[in-house]
Amino acid sequence: MSRISQINLDDSGLPPPTPEIEQERKVAMFDLLEENTFVLPARDGREVPAGPYHVGLAIREKRLVFDVKTESAEKAAEFHLSLGPFRQVVKDYFQICESYFEAVKKLPPSQIETIDMARRGIHNEGSRVLQERLEGKAEVDTDTARRLFTLICVLHFGG
């Protein structure tokens, strides 16, 4: 089964998240575990242990680290991605989320919808960047990439 069955975020050393960020995190983790596609392709001619996988996400030395293990704790893969390609889209995503959270409190539905459409567009861009960065390392569908991007944002800003 090529899927993630457990996801762990290493947010040690990060400030506590805001209530809104904590809610985004919980929803992304729940949705991710409900349905996802995560395939580790064979690399360098070596077989890859079969899933489902336990995935740890962390930021170490300014790199995004995916630590992938099987359910029996066998190391399946570890890969490090530069955060550079994510910086602007993460920054844009958090700015639009702040606008959205404020809008929900005081603006009419039509204006909230406009902000939410922009938020989804930026979110889609972030998931596309993630899929590109994972190329050759892991294959994920769009929904999985979107949820993982949300979790990367949580780690990136920590609240």
Which domain range does residue 36 map to? 4-157
Burial (0-12, 13-18, 19+ Cβ within 10 Å), 2: middle
In this model, does residue 159 exceed pLDDT 80? no
pLDDT digits (tens, 9 = 90+) for 80-126: 999 899 989 999 988 888 888 888 889 998 889 999 899 899 999 99
Model confidence band, residue 22 (pLDDT cutoffs 50, 70, 90): confident
| pLDDT category of residue 148 using cuts at 50, 70 and 90 | very high
pTM of the model: 0.89
> What is the rounded average pLDDT of the residues 25-53?
89
Give the DSSP per-residue string, 56-117.
EEEEETTEEEEEEEETT--EEEEEEEESHHHHHHHHHHHHHHHHHHHHHHHS-HHHHHHHHH
Q: How many domains does the chain have?
A: 1
Tokens of 6: 């457990």
